[in-house]
Amino acid sequence: MPFTFAHPAAILPVRRFWPAANAQALAIGSMSPDFAYFFKLGVPGWFSHSLAGIAFFCVPAGLVAYVLYYLLLKGPLLALMPASLGRRLNGDPAAWVPRTARDLLVLLASFAAGAATHLAWDSFTHGNTLPTRYWTWLHQPLALADGVFLPLYNLLQHASTALGLAVLALWIARWWIRTPASDAPHAGLRPGARVLVLAGLAAAAVLGWVAGTAGLGPVSLERLLFFGIVRSVRYASAALLLYAVAVQIRALHAGRRLLS
């Protein structure tokens, strides 16, 4: 599958044609079909990557991730960032809450639209989808090296991942140049604590890779990457959640409100 974190690149055209959409919900929605792989939610990946899955998995899972981010994760994540980045991301802490029924509908529709871009992207990069079954030329094997062949849809998968990540990198660079840093104080971690937390998150990801790939036996590179990345994201997410909970508990014990 195309790399999950490249999928938000597909929402950029949606934002251009639908400026009222919730950008954060679009981004979360664009990754939400893969939540079934990363987290043990009892939902098979084939369902989360279906039209029914958009309504019954991606939208509710996206909503949970959205609320979890703003209520629990955002403040601790900002504390991990250098001041120059954190002050650019500081906004109205209550702006994420829908204030009207229309706002709520736009939010839910944005999750669905983001998930739809994921399915559309995947439809040309997997061998068992309707487009690849109908357009048999997508199965045309291409020679990459002596004796090494790759179907066109598979090559599109890797090429589109690289393109998506490049587009996101360019968008972030443009956003950085155009977005001024706010004057609000940045409650960041001390440098030593930041390094320690980042090292812990990296260690969790490495541990996840080892746990996901150990004992697989001889498998293709794609399967190795799939199992390794899925378990790495799962372990790193668990570590990030523990860090965020610890930071929020510390804030409560200090008599401060939850960081957001």
Helix pair 191-213, 221-253: axis angle to 10 deg: 140
- What residue ranges do the domains of the chain occupy? 4-188, 190-259
Q: What is the pLDDT of residue 115?
A: 98
Closest CA to 204 of 246, 242, 165: 242
Query: Is residue 183 predicted with pLDDT exceeding 90?
Result: no
What single-letter DSSP state applies at residue 141? E
Torsion 17-19-23-26 (CA) sign = negative
Res 22 pLDDT > 80: yes
19 pLDDT tier (thresholds 50, 70, 90):
very high
pLDDT at residue 136, as a whole number: 79
Secondary structure letter of residue 183 according to DSSP: S
pLDDT digits (tens, 9 = 90+) for 53-81: 999 999 999 999 999 999 999 989 999 99
For 141-158, write each residue's pLDDT tens digit: 777 666 667 788 888 888
Higher pLDDT, 204 or 87: 204
Q: What is the pLDDT of residue 49?
A: 94
Q: Is the pLDDT of residue 187 over 70?
A: yes
**Residues near 41 by Cβ (< 8 Å), separated by ≥ 6?**
35, 61
Q: What is the pLDDT of residue 220?
A: 75
Question: What mean pLDDT comes out for the span 19-36?
Answer: 96
Number of helical H runs and strand E runs in the chain: 13, 2
Transcribe 4-61 into DSSP letters.
GGGGGGGHHHHHHH-TTS-HHHHHHHHHGGGHHHHS--S--HHHHTSHHHIIIIIHHH
pLDDT of residue 224: 87
What confidence score (pLDDT) does residue 2 get? 63
